[in-house]
């Protein structure tokens, strides 16, 4: 949104922590991290195969387009 509608005037700080995979595991959940696009299908399949809750951390580039997104009013 900020890239396309606000001339890249970013208003938030990138998250550098916590480690969401370790945080999930600390609570007894499965935690997965995806750092490359080609890892997505395997991570989604693994998450769907788990009997309980799963936290999947998707690491994306700051200006990578992530859908869906809403157009500001």
pLDDT tens track for 55-73: 999 987 766 666 555 665 5
The angle at the Cα of 24, spanning 67 to 37, to the nearest 5 degrees, equals: 35
pLDDT tens track for 14-70: 667 789 999 999 999 999 999 998 999 999 999 999 999 999 999 877 666 665 556
| Range list of H helices, 1-73 | 2-5, 20-26, 40-49
- Assess contact for 55 and 30: CB atoms under 8 A: yes
């Amino acid at each position: 949104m900020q890239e396309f509608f606000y001339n890249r005037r970013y208003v938030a700080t990138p998250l550098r922590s916590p480690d969401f995979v370790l945080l999930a595991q600390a609570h007894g959940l499965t935690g997965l991290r995806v750092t490359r696009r080609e890892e997505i299908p395997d991570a989604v399949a693994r998450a769907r195969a788990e009997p309980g809750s799963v936290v999947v951390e998707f690491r994306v580039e700051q200006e990578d387009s992530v859908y869906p997104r809403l157009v500001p009013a």
